[in-house]
Amino acid sequence: MIEVPVPLGERSYRIIIAPGLLAQLGEQLRALTPNRRLAVVVDDRVAAPHLDRLRAGLAGFEVVPLPVPAGEGSKSFRQLERLIDSLLALEMKRSDVVLAFGGGVVGDLTGFAAAILKRGMHFVQVPTTLLAMVDSSVGGKTGINTTAGKNLAGAFHQPLAVFIDPELLETLPEREMQAGYAEIVKYGLIADRAFYHWCEENAAHLLAHDGDALVHAIAASCRAKAAIVGRDEHETGDLRALLNFGHTFGHALEAETGFGDRLLHGEAVGIGMAEALRFSAMLGFSPAADAERFAAHLQSLGMRAWPGQAGIARTAAAQLLAHMQNDKKREAGGLPFILARGIGDAFVARGIKPAEVEKFLESDLRH
């Protein structure tokens, strides 16, 4: 069992990583809450293979499942309202615990509902996808999408704990594994060249569900994110902003494809990181060889590295730029970009002109 602390003073909590942890979940939760009723938010893709296993691990608790539809569409005001109404119908108290059992969509939706219901309820994360295990379940960012863009309504609300059982990944489709891998390799790209090298050497084993590789990658990712969150919880400085590497491009790609299964979040981030490296090279910050190296790495794993490979039209540069202008990270002086001086050395770049971005996109979309 690996424990990773998230140091946030009175809001500190632990990330616990262990194969088979689901069977011990009741024991872990009894140490966190005296209450024995749990509202479990779960999507239909996760409920079928895993809900009975969760119930078995929560012996002694009354488990009340609250189903939500699978997919990015559930990060909506409609589903948020439905979830809040369901929790109120259960007469949940502020001291009760809501358990998010699913991927990033379920975690983000559950966390936001817990943040605003009765001005703040307890919740725990039990992520079931690789992406959620290494990124979205950690750090307290919660939220939903709006018609204007991704994650534009939300709150910072830390969980009581994050419980990660890598055995839950045994039923995860290859495409979802690849989407999660994009968020793993991100930690190497932004600040840890040695970990990036490890990823290049071990990604194929990780994607093939090698247990040792998975545990190492999950633990390394959680440690990296916990360290950043502990120093810049609310992204008031530039440190936590580095975690958005590839996301400005990626969110624009998601918006252009309708926030659906056509392009998963992690897939968009993978392409977005490749674009961020190519844009960095175009601006003279980074060696072009690093951008080529990363794109080749993605494609060696069967992943996409160019917008055209995701079906983005060659004429979409203006639309993508417009999506970026709606990004929640936009500042008075414009939209900051997370760029790189090379693999393992990301930084926040300000003063980037929209014309430069559009020129880059027009070139990138021709590939």
Asked whether the predicted pLDDT for residue 72 surpasses 70, the reply is yes
Q: What is the mean pLDDT of residues 81-94?
A: 95
pLDDT value of residue 197: 98
The helices-and-strands tally (H runs, E runs) of the chain is: 13, 11
Asked whether the predicted pLDDT for residue 334 surpasses 80, the reply is no
Same domain, 106 and 143: yes
For residues 82 and 68, what is the distance between their CA atoms, to the nearest angstrom? 9
Percent of the chain with pLDDT over 70: 98
How does residue 333 score in pLDDT terms, banded at 50, 70 and 90?
low
Q: What are phi and psi of 340, to 5 degrees?
A: -145, 145
Q: What is the mean pLDDT of residues 327-342?
A: 78
Asked whether the predicted pLDDT for residue 188 surpasses 80, the reply is yes
Same domain, 164 and 197: no
In the predicted model, what is the mean pLDDT of the chain?
Answer: 95
pLDDT value of residue 189: 98
| Catalytic positions | 119, 141, 183, 225, 235, 240, 244, 247, 251, 265
pLDDT value of residue 198: 98
Same domain, 134 and 202: no
**Count of structural domains, the chain:** 2
Q: What is the mean pLDDT of residues 151-160?
A: 95
Asked whether the predicted pLDDT for residue 351 surpasses 90, the reply is no
Same domain, 160 and 212: no
Q: Which of 287, 295, 8, 265 is nearest to 151 (CA)?
A: 265
> What are the tokens at 235?
């992204």
Same domain, 33 and 105: yes
Q: What are phi and psi of 240, to 5 degrees?
A: -65, -25
Q: What's the pTM?
A: 0.95
How does residue 328 score in pLDDT terms, banded at 50, 70 and 90?
low
Residue 39, SS3?
strand
Asked whether the predicted pLDDT for residue 316 surpasses 90, the reply is yes
Same domain, 350 and 261: yes
Q: What is the mean pLDDT of residues 320-347?
A: 84
Q: What is the mean pLDDT of residues 147-172?
A: 94
Same domain, 121 and 252: no
For residues 97 and 34, what is the distance between their CA atoms, to the nearest angstrom? 10
Residue 163, SS3?
strand
Same domain, 6 and 134: yes
For residues 306 and 233, what is the distance between their CA atoms, to the nearest angstrom? 32
Range of the domain at 45: 2-171
Same domain, 94 and 235: no
* Residue 132's CATH number: 3.40.50.1970
Asked whether the predicted pLDDT for residue 73 surpasses 80, the reply is yes
Q: What is the mean pLDDT of residues 237-260?
A: 93
Q: What is the mean pLDDT of residues 334-347?
A: 93
Cβ-in-10-Å burial (0-12, 13-18, 19+) of 178 comes to buried
- Dihedral sign computed on CA atoms, order 60, 64, 67, 72: negative
Q: What is the pLDDT of residues 213-234, one digit of tens each?
A: 999 999 999 999 999 999 999 9
For residues 278 and 270, what is the distance between their CA atoms, to the nearest angstrom? 13
Q: What is the mean pLDDT of residues 300-327?
A: 94
Same domain, 164 and 189: no
Same domain, 147 and 132: yes
Of the ranges 51-55, 150-154, 326-330, 357-361, which one carries the lowest mean pLDDT score? 326-330
* Residue 308's CATH number: 1.20.1090.10
Same domain, 205 and 229: yes
H or E stretch covering 175: helix 174-191
Q: What is the pLDDT of residues 261-289, one digit of tens each?
A: 899 999 999 999 999 999 999 999 999 99
DSSP per-residue string spanning 290-338: HHHHHHHHHHHTT---SGGGGT--TT-HHHHHHHHHT-TT-BTTB--EE
> Contact 38/26 with Cβ under 8 angstroms?
no
